[in-house]
Structure 1
Amino acid sequence: MYTALLIELCKLQPGSLPQVLAQATEMLYMRLDTMNTTCIDRFINWFSHHLSNFQFRWSWGDWSDCLTQDLEKPKSKFVREVLEKCMRLSYRQRIIDIVPPSFSVLSPAKPACLYKYGDEGNRSLPGYAVALCLTIAIKNKASNDEIFNILKDVPNPNKDDDDDEGFTFNPLKIEVFVQTLLHLAAKSFSHSFSALAKFHEVFKVLAESDEGKLHVLRVVYEGWKNHPQMIAVLVDKMIRTQIVDCAAVANWIFSSELAHDFTRFYVWEILHSTIRKMNKHVLKIHKELEETKARLARQHKRNSPSLVASPVWFQGRLGVVACPLSSSVNSVWYNSEKDFERLQDVLLNLLLFLKFNLLTYDISLATPSYSYLMLGQLVFNPAMVRPIQGTTESSIP
């Protein structure tokens, strides 16, 4: 709301207000070293949006002092994040053109998909031949069965020679498939979403285990590490389509592979979105449970034999059923209550996991105060979290 107000005021009073706003922005920039992390995040979002409405004009040379500082210092990080957010609102070459050449170290990298199987010099890589076959098959609109048939030739590096049963989790198979698919669908967000939808069954089989889900996220990051926005939207889509779950995202964020990006704001954007989705799902199940309880209470209040004997239809999250009212309501209520308790447990364990990792995470790039502030930014409703019997913060392994 205030962003739109400031934009309109600058347009209505072009002779005075832009200068005042520029001075205020300069003062905020000078105080970045002592500014709360949440305020820095909001400052980045406002400033990048404001610039996008005024052709990204700014005296970037006045902020050249950030170039002499460590890239993890607040001023350098602020400029880097602002330029990245501006790229989301425009395109990379436009952002490169508006900043001085000396700011190239802070400018966004080219948002291209890194496909290691596309270089003929990597012929010796395991899975290279399968990746070529997979590329041809996907371009020819292969079915899921055909994709599975191609992937069965991928060796499992986790399988022992004397193990006839094998492993459900095959990291090389996931790497070849996900890298190839993301490369072929790299043209736009819509192409990537369509690819995820078309081969959803393949993803579900490959990422059946917790290790598989975690490895899918690793491969997505490796392919799109130069395009944080693509990572964020792909992870969001994978959670919505249940290719990965919230616990896998949390484990991935606190993994060693993501340590050097731990203080990047896109990482916390993903984490906030994950927590909100989980909490929203718990609230939805809680609402269904309360509605079912009310239906059950009305049934007991009426206590009519004719109503108990007459079949009714229920359609909702648990499907469509036709059965006597008493058994149907009790069954739906029982299932909803079990779902609600299970999801509460999942949400609480997820939040305890995040708190434990934020307080103990060993990373040289993130100061303890940064971690504490990030913990305070997590958006959830504590009233909906039921303590698990026998589970305390001190019992977390």
Structure 2
Amino acid sequence: MSYRHGGYRRRYRDDYDDRRREVIETPEDRLKTTIIKFGEVDALEELPGLDKQIRNHQPLNIPNVSEAFRISVTEQPYKIPFYAALLRSLYNASDLAEGETEAPVLGRLILEDFWKGFQGYLDKVAWRETRLCIQFFAHLTNAGLISPESMTALLQSFVAVLDEFGVSHGRAKKAALSAGEGLIIAGPVLKVHSPSSVNEMIAAIHTYSESTINAKWLVALNSKVSNEVSIPEGADEVLDSLLNALNTLNEGDFSGTADCIPQPYLKGEGAQTDLPIYDLPSVLVPPEIIEVEGITSEAGSDAQIKKEEWPEYYFRVFTTDVSPDPNTPAGYVIRSTLIDTIDIFEINRKECARLLLEYPKWNLPGTFKPKPGSTVEHEPIPDKDWQLDSTVLETILGVYLVLPESSQKSISYISLMTELCKLSPSTVGPAVGKSIRKLYSALSESLDVEVSRRFAEWFAIHMSNFGFQWVWKEWVPDLSLAVQHPKRAFIRRVVEFEIRLAYHERIFKTLPAQMQDPEAFVIPDQSPSPAFDYEDPLHPHHEAAQSVLNLFRGRANAEDVIAHLDTLKNQLEGADEGHANLDSLVRSIAVQSLLNIGSRSISHLLNGIERYLALLRNLASGGISSSGGYGNNEAKADILTASASFWRHNRQMVGIVFDKLMQYQIVDPTDVVNWTFLNGSVVGQLKEIEKPLNLSAFEWDLLKGALDKANGRVVIARRKIATLRKEDDDARARAKASQGMEVDGETKPDEQDNVENPALETALKASESLVREQKAALSRTLEGFISCLAPSTGDANPSPGSRNMIGEEAWNNRDAWGRDEWNAWETWGWYRQFVRAYAPYLRIYTNTLETVSFSKFEGVNDPAADLLKKLWHIATGQE
């Protein structure tokens, strides 16, 4: 009983402690929360009450209120016009006593403190927060609170970034968007104040945009193989859309701004018109903050590298009567606000989906069609009345399919689209179906291979969330296309993804009979499973493999397994007369036997690798009985081939095993790159359509995994070096400080000044080795693509179709293309993705890689070689 009572006392005491730890919300916190939640029901109706609540709050903490405004503006961009209206209301001097015309106005005090926060964003080069604050200032300029002179100067300071020497595209693009979007909003006032300044800013953005034509060509959403730099019709690039919107507004002296952006601060009765004008202080946009990711340059010095930013093309799904055209002012504003909302609420997809579907209440009434069953009706605006669900879905797909990679993980966008389908299945569902059909039809119109890969990933995950229901019979006629046509390749990849997410039999039953036919090459005739080459008792090496298997099952020591393999090799040498390479055979038996033990799950695989690391490293060293290093390329290739052969019916596991072999340093990334270019096609999903030396999405996944591993190791190594150096410097500083505090005032020389840190020396040597590995992986990848696409200098395994699709004329005749041409076309697409996705790393080693890889083309007249070099030069910033 005493224990029970003691337990009760302990429980009650813990509850009391929990209550003591509860955070008590202060009146200031409640006011801050109220400001942030402003407008959740009806912003215009709530505005007078919130204005009064802020004025009556005593004592009023101006920084607290200003912080609430900053949070609201930078995290709820769809509310910015209404916060401008709230601040304008707080500018009214009706609360001043008679004769206090010089007393500070509450709104003015909030704005001054808000500016301090904006300066903080600017100093940190927080571009999104900076841009949204500029939008807020632009609204306040329209409201008569900020002088047009200072607003013009603010925008000009961002336009000046475009003229900086060597400005990166990412920095220039963000500065142009900040200035351009501010100009869209404040244009009605600024055009009256200084037409020349407005025209000059638009011209500066246009000039910069024109200078990026090569970069635009490289990241356009099409994969036409041509040496001619051209932008496809209908392409939608963000800076081009901004310029089109600005030019449209400028032609009408920005009278159209009121037709695309809410301006609630210009409405209402009794508002003062003679408000004190605030002059924004002058600013200078600070230089870009570059993250040090630990890359060592060819000269051996530390180099700074950051993710490369390219022009952004957004895929258009619907016609302009369904979703707004982003090249119009209204369309651009809507898309920009939706994208900001998607980025800000990336951490909470449920809240993001809800806010996206509630977006019309923050826009002009009549912009979107009312929800089905809604009692609120608005008069449709001419040339608007768009469908909200289609607009939102098109925006998400646009940012998801941006090349060379999206700003967020793919799963973030896919999960958001799934959440939208759950919130409003009757309206979002049809929009999803139309989007899938639109993207599928674009596969025949040179849709980029990376876009196609992401499309397949989204489609498969979407099907898995909704019962794998799709009208596959719509695509049955496409089975008559060439077996490597993008549409047929897409169908196979989707089915492969769906099998990963479910199981073979279930997906098989969802397909029509025509696609179930083995001759259709859509789905394999067996489920993804291990393929142990020595399983069959009739296999000549079955007994040998079983002896190795028994050792693994009995958890024998690695040394015992190595000794057994030595004995096995000697036995086979006398008995097997037909095998060309007994070392390769023994490696294959050992690796496949170990993978067979680990085939039950990933944890079994990792346990097997970790238990027999010594064995695997011995196999990779080049000899069964050798205890040497890790330098035998043939042995490592044998290990990779045995692994790929064991999992040839499950290509996902091939990638996983390769990744683990690199993780445990049994093979290097360069080994995986070599193997992929030489042997990747042996892991065909369907053996009947194995292709020559070309790359599909599967081989690209292997290459990407190897390159990311090599680059990631260098990043980690350099960060470790930076940490060790900082710790070393701190230790030296502390030692000097302690010596300087001696009573006699004399300091002793720091005896450790010239002593090297052993840990730092080790880290530096490791980093040098990893940098060589990184450089080798990039170099081998480039050489592999050249061997595939331009084997004009006697390279082995020539690609028959690598030249037959170069040029517009060849593309127009693509209906006659066969397997080789489509294979080569896809390989060209992956080469484009390689140079643009890894451009930051390639630029570090440009001179070396270019000399080694492209020197063979000197004096050679070859369109394939010319195209290879052109894409390389654009990616590395030489064109």
Structure 1: gaps spanning 5 or more residues: 160-167, 308-323
1:17 to 411, 421, 428: 428
Per-residue deviation at 1:279?
1.2
CA distance in 1, matches of 2:572, 2:824: 33
Q: Which moved more, 1:356-365 or 1:205-214?
A: 356-365
- Identify if the C-alpha distance between structure 1 residues 176 and 67 changes in structure 2 by more than 3 Å, giving closer, same or farther: same
Kept after mapping to 1: 8 A contact 2:536/2:542: no
How far did 1:305 drift? 10
Deviations, residues 68-98 of structure 1 (Å, cap 9, x unaligned): 1222110000000001111111111111111
Query: Which letter does structure 2 place at the counterpart of 1:155?
Result: K
Report the Cα offset of residue 378 of structure 1. Answer: 4.3
Question: AA paired with 1:197?
Answer: E
- Structure 1 residue 38 corresponds to structure 2 residue 450: yes
Distance 2:755 2:571 in 1: 49
Name which structure has the greater RCO, CA cutoff 8 Å, separation 6+.
1
1:254 to partner: Cα distance: 0.7
Q: 2:610 pairs with 197, 205, 208, which one? A: 197
* Residues 175 and 219 in structure 1, CA contact (< 8 A), matched pair in contact too: yes
Structure 2: gaps (5+ residues): 1-411, 574-580, 622-631, 683-689, 740-750, 789-797, 800-819, 857-879
CA contact (8 A) 1:156 1:172 kept: no
Specify the structure having the higher radius of gyration (Cα).
Answer: 2
Match of 1:393 among 837, 840, 850: 850
Aligned in 2, Cα 1:378/1:198: closer, same or farther, shift over 3 Å?
farther
Paired letter, 1:116: D
Using the TM superposition, give the Cα deviation of residue 210 of structure 1 relative to its aligned residue in structure 2, in angstroms.
2.2
Give a deviation string over 1:151-182, Cα, whole Å, max 9, x none: 112337999xxxxxxxx992121111112222
**1:138 — aligned with what?**
552
Residues 1:358 and 1:341: Cα distance change in structure 2 (over 3 Å): same
Aligned 8 A contact 1:296 1:330 in 2:
yes
Q: How does 1:141-160 map to 2 (within 5 A)?
A: 141-155=555-569
Does residue 1:252 correspond to 2:686, yes or no?
no
Q: Give the aligned length.
A: 368
- Supply the distance in 2 between the matched residues of 1:66 and 1:232 (Cα, whole angstroms): 30
Q: For each residue in 1:221-248, what CA deviation from the matched residue of structure 2 results, as whole angstroms up to 9, or x when unmatched?
A: 1111110011111111111111111111
Residues 3-152 of structure 1: matches in 2 within 5 Å? 3-33=414-444, 34-104=446-516, 105-108=521-524, 109-123=526-540, 127-152=541-566
Equivalent residues of 2:515, 2:522 under 8 A apart:
yes
Work out whether residues 117 and 131 of structure 1, in 8 Å CA contact, stay in contact via their aligned partners in 2: yes
Offset, 1:211: 1.7
Q: Is the 8 A contact 1:32 1:40 kept in 2?
A: yes
8 A contact 1:348–1:386 mirrored in 2: no
Relative to structure 1, the CA distance from residue 169 to residue 287 in structure 2 (aligned partners, 3 Å threshold; closer, same or farther) is farther
Identity value in percent? 23
Once residues 730 and 427 of structure 2 are traced to their aligned partners in structure 1, the CA distance between those partners, rounded to angstroms, is: 65
How big is the alpha-carbon RMSD for the aligned residues of Structure 1 and Structure 2?
A: 3.0
- Structure 2 CA distance, aligned partners of 1:241 and 1:377? 29
> Take 2:548 and 2:470, find their aligned partners in 1: how far apart are those partners?
47
Q: Pick the aligned partner of 1:375 from 834, 839, 844.
A: 834
Of residues 144-153 and 374-383 in structure 1, the stretch that sits farther from structure 2 once superposed is 374-383
Counterparts of 1:290 and 1:40 in 2: how far apart (Å)?
Answer: 40
SS at match of 1:291: helix
Q: Aligned equivalents of 1:244 and 1:55: distance in 2?
A: 40
What SS does the aligned partner of 1:119 have?
A: coil
TM-score in terms of structure 1 length: 0.83
What are the Cα deviations for residues 266-320 of structure 1, in whole angstroms up to 9, with x where unaligned? 322222122122212111111222233334545666773977xxxxxxxxxxxxx
Q: Name whichever structure is richer in helix by fraction.
A: 1
1:228 to 644, 651, 654: 651
Moved more, 325-334 or 93-102: 325-334
| Mapped contact 1:137–1:147 kept (Cα < 8 A) | yes
Which one is further off, 12-21 or 242-251?
Answer: 12-21
Aligned match of 2:703: 271
Do the aligned partners of 1:207 and 1:243 also contact (CA within 8 Å) in 2? Answer: yes
TM-score by length of 2: 0.39
User: How big is the shift at 1:327?
Assistant: 6.2
Report the Cα offset of residue 65 of structure 1: 2.3
- Change in Cα spacing, 1:300 to 1:393, as seen in structure 2 (3 Å) is same
The answer on whether the counterparts of 1:272 and 1:378 sit within 8 Å (CA) in structure 2 is no
Q: Residue 118 of structure 1: SS of its match in structure 2? A: coil
Residue identity opposite 2:852 in structure 1: S
What amino acid does structure 2 have at the position aligned with 1:230? Answer: M
* Superposed CA offset, 1:96-121 (max 9, x none): 11111221331144212222212122
Contact 1:289 1:336 survives alignment (8 Å):
yes
Amino acid at match of 1:117: Y
